[in-house]
A and B are shown apart, each in its own frame.
Chain A
């Protein structure tokens, strides 16, 4: 076994091409933002009925995935699983980059993004949204320190463990806060539920790990670093546990709602009659994002194959976007029931299923957030010693020849 050596990545033609592509997406998002700011949100698909749309799906996916991406570092330093340790720096960096990408989308979609300073200086402490601003900025600070203590020579492992534990607790709080943005919406039957907080936590575990697996495997491929099959298998089986957790919480969420006569309407809409939302729920969220990845990673023979785990990771990401689209947009598409027991109609679309079609500027803005997250990750790996020179099984897990135990 060699000592783990971390090195900056070198610029290869492939990496430069990828960087240029990411910059193009970022510039396109910047252009989209300027276009929206110039003409107003009328150029988006969002309306007074669907007030949060595709940018919020992207933003919340990235924010949720950010805290999940930190899990690998947490498993290494908090729970003492040494095979994950060489991945811990990348885990922290990716977490910071994903959060930056998500927040960029969220901020640029504001009606008045020029007033960001107002959001930073005026707080309503009753608002979970305001609390989230603290949780996000705190996450940057805590994970930044966590990265520092991992990378600085001579810092005791016990200090790393303490800081890692703080980061782990902070990320749990952050995802609780993100879930509570929806869970505390008392007026909307699609959201109002305490289960949103743990649901978002387990979603973050799954989405963040799926993104992490794809990023680390890709960058190892691009930089010619070895990536052990057993390590990948281990990550894949861990992903399976998280995906099963998401399915469990989603099942409990909907079964609980189905028990309430008041919420039958919105449940019928999402599960049976909601058109695109129903399709996205069953085929996108449950099948593509849940069942197929589970089969892929736990298949007795195919489960150990890298292709299975990488495919499962990609499907979890697709399913994650579907889940957030159903939750955020589908939850608003179903009308507010202001007059229970009455059929309502008005020029303001009372009682109607609301429609939403994402516009190109929204799509570009969302993709720009993803590109920003990936670009920041790449930039971090270029200037900092984030990535080990090798992640071969011999190096990361020399004692475990069976490859079992996540």
Chain B
């Protein structure tokens, strides 16, 4: 009996307490804390323990002390598991962020290729809501991995394009206000026409109908 008390080897060392001793002490063998608490409660009954099992209460206390300090104590293990879980969660989170950022970089490349140099749209194209809206939608769709435009979005886009066509904007530049008909230094990227055609399936030709701002139907 003493041999098993001297060499604690696992977290469930509580179970190595002799069954009779557990019964006598009225403790649950599975929970170390329970043992500690219960033994502490019954510590005044030391004579009974010694008489029944031939061990002193000091020996039992030493044994319990050893359990408390054991590296594989269940409580300690639970903390380690929780820490590991938190680390894994952070790693997963970082991985997702990394993936999202890679996607953002790709979106940036696509937008740059499709819409041309974005610097061109600032500030000259701020009033061209259609351009910005289209670019924004492209960004949103690409970055959220959706591939279809909803009807509502198409309506929004149509309205914006319609507004842009009706009101020929006075574009503010560093040189002052530029009126319609004045020479423009290509404020809309060339591929914009292609994009509009792809979205609407209609022509986009500035030379055909300049009164309507270049959007044909």
Q: Check if A and B associate.
A: no
Q: Interface residues, chain A, CB within 8 Å of chain B?
A: none
Q: Interface residues, chain B, CB within 8 Å of chain A?
A: none
